[in-house]
Amino acid sequence: MFEELISIASIRRSPVLSFLLGACYSAIAIGIALWLFSDDPALIAVALVTLMFYPTLSVFLKSGEDVEARKKETNPLTFFRDHLPLYRLYVGFFLGVFLVFALFSLNLPALAANHLLKNQMSIFLGAASWSQGLFLDLLTNNLLVLLVIFLTSFFLGEGGILLITWNASVWGTIFGSLARNAGLATQQSPLGFFLMILAIILPHMLLEAFGYFTSAISGAAISKGLLKERFGRERSIRVLRNTLVALAIAVVFILVGALVETFVLQNATFYRTLIGYSLV
């Protein structure tokens, strides 16, 4: 419905509108999932957000599906410039989903929040450890997610948005729940804790998110580009080369993000204390 009220041209001009779409779709999806699918609302909420956002994303991808075939040079900066509207769409949507899931997790009573978002919380609580292999664990997990996003985008075009939405919901749930638990333990405002957590995790979260965005865009670009060009011809080889370069850049984003996240987890005492409240 919202994509009919807000024109694609308007969304292209203002990433704020894609943020509003992500936020509105998430609030609606969580409400519907909690009302109709109380046994497992978390997965249903993510699926509903993805379904509602799909038409908008599909228009964006179709409007630039042959951009890689038209390019003659292999230049990472050119890739980002040509796909800037898609990046802005992904960033706005991702932050909208993240914020709404965080606010629901932050404000709902503990049992309701844990029930609503139990799948997301289980991912975090099962991974919170401080072993020497933390960096490799983070890197392996994030590279696996990146690969799945690339493959789903390659085979399904817009399919990568499902995992991008899932990750936004996971991160929103984790950090909202951390802040809520810290507030309960200390009898202080959970909103203040959430803002402090956000300041700590924002760098590595954005690095990883940009890696996922780049993977989704490159997967869709190579899929649609190769469909339009006969494999082995110069234009198809150009599509393949440019998108593989973009995928390599996505891996670099993930690598740097894992390094930053490892440093934060191992050195930010305040952050580890907040995680301790949830583990207890």
State pLDDT tens for residues 146-164. 999 998 888 877 778 888 9
Range of weakest confidence among 64-78, 130-144, 191-205: 64-78
Range of weakest confidence among 2-6, 66-70, 268-272: 66-70
Range of weakest confidence among 39-43, 46-50, 181-185: 39-43
pLDDT in tens, 197-244: 899 889 999 999 999 999 988 887 777 666 665 555 666 666 677 778
What is this structure's pTM? 0.86
Residue 91's pLDDT is what?
92
| Residue 111: band (very low, low, confident or very high) from pLDDT cuts 50, 70, 90 | very low
Contacts of 137 (CB under 8 A, 6+ apart): 127, 129, 131
Once rounded to an integer, what is the mean pLDDT over residues 56-81? 63
Separation CA 260–CA 167 (nearest Å):
18
Residue 7's pLDDT is what?
65
* Domains in the chain: boundaries: 2-6+15-279
